[in-house]
Structure 1
Amino acid sequence: MVRFDQLKSSFWRDGPGEALTDDALARAERELSVRLPAELAELLRLRDGGTVADGCDAFPTREPTSWSETHVPFDLLHGVGSGAGISLLDSAYLVGEWGLPASIVLLSGDGHTWIGLDYRRSATPAVTWFDADRETELPLAPTFRDFAEGLVPAANFPWA
């Protein structure tokens, strides 16, 4: 397992980019009505969303999902800025559109499957996998830090 402090410098595929400002982070937290995990904020201060490096583009699972028997993909992390395509700020709309539980901030996904910060039980969110088509969910990690430190290369997994 890679420690978060070591992961930060190699998290983004294209390295640092346009960073999230403290003002934009504060506005996002007000709009989302949550406090984002400090580690997520650290990553977004390096680059406000984008493609993650190959070394951390999957999370191993203990149960099979519709994606794989062994893992879920995490090739993209949504940012806050308008140039990032889908944004963390689109979570409320997407949660409603895809019939996901309330109190979720979506980190990554394609509509059918999502990885999100799950605030339903605590102000410190767990990270959960949601399959909108199958109406299932799978807890991945108790905190965003645990999630980030558990990321591994998707290339480690067979595609059988």
Structure 2
Amino acid sequence: MDNFWGENFYNHPELTDEMLEVAEKKLGVKLPAEYVELLKQQNGGYTTNFVFPTDQENSWAEDHVPLNELFGIVTDEAVETAQNILDTEYMTEEWGLPERQVLLSGAGHWWITLDYRNGGEPTVRWLDVESDETFELASSFKAFMSRLVAESEFEQF
């Protein structure tokens, strides 16, 4: 996705192999290769505004969920950011989220996550804390990415 990334508002540093290793060890998971490749282009930040079409009405919309940002991996505690997958443990506790999730995007009340509860390759899941809503968006991160639609074009579908 050549036009995936928008602004790196928090000035995340370039992703290194060491940062990836720290993240996977701390989270206790192997991150999907497609996700890592995106982070090598830009280590998280705002996207160029995508939506993921759904067949299920949800708290966000009747037929989609947003992907306006994608969290990166920031191991330097001096970098202040709201877009870091390493905040997953804290946010899981703070919001009462299910275990074995890696937060990819969200705003507290809702999240898009990598769900590792079934082991192996994670599914991509929608979680809404306020409406107690949870459902699978895609069977893998690759499948999730392949179905994203530019927000500006979504009305045409």
What's the offset of the Cα at 1:123? 2.0
- The reply to whether residue 72 of structure 1 matches residue 69 of structure 2 is no
Q: Which residue of 2 aligns with 1:37?
A: 32
Contact kept in structure 2, 1:112 and 1:131, CA below 8 Å: yes
| Higher share of residues assigned helix | 1
The answer to whether the Cα contact below 8 Å between 1:60 and 1:152 also exists between their aligned partners in 2 is: yes
Structure 1: segments with no counterpart, 5+ residues: 1-6
Inter-partner Cα distance in structure 2 for 1:157 and 1:53: 13
Instruction: Quote the Cα distance in structure 2 between the aligned partners of 1:68 and 1:139.
Output: 16
| Aligned alpha-carbon RMSD (Å) | 1.6
Aligned residue for 1:108? 105
Structure 2: distance between partners of 1:95 and 1:133: 14
Residue 122 (str. 1) matches residue 119 (str. 2):
yes
Shift of 1:155: 2.5
Q: Residue type matched to 2:73 in 1?
A: V
TM-score, normalised to structure 1's length?
A: 0.87
Q: Report the residue type matching 2:70 in the other structure.
A: L
Aligned residues: 148
Q: Distance in 2 between matches of 1:14 and 1:118?
A: 26
Q: Secondary structure at the match of 2:15?
A: coil
2:4 equivalent in structure 1: 11
Give the deviation of 1:156 after TM superposition: 3.2
Runs of 4+ residues over 2 Å off in structure 1: 82-86, 155-158
Q: Match of 2:46?
A: 51
**Structure-2-length-normalised TM-score:** 0.88
The question of whether the paired residues in 2 share the 8 Å contact of 1:18 and 1:46 is answered with: no
> Which stretch of the first structure deviates more once superposed, 148-157 or 126-135?
148-157
Structure 2 unpaired stretches of 5+ = none
- CA distance in 2: counterparts of 1:10 and 1:19, whole angstroms: 18
1:121 partner SS: coil
SS in 1 for 2:94: helix
Alpha-carbon distance, 1:157 to partner: 4.0
Separation (CA, whole Å) in 2 of partners of 1:106 and 1:68: 20
Shift of 1:14: 4.2
User: For residue 131 of structure 2, what is the aligned residue in structure 1?
Assistant: 134
Q: Distance in 2 between matches of 1:53 and 1:106?
A: 19
Is 2:90 the counterpart of 1:85? no
| Greater strand content | 2
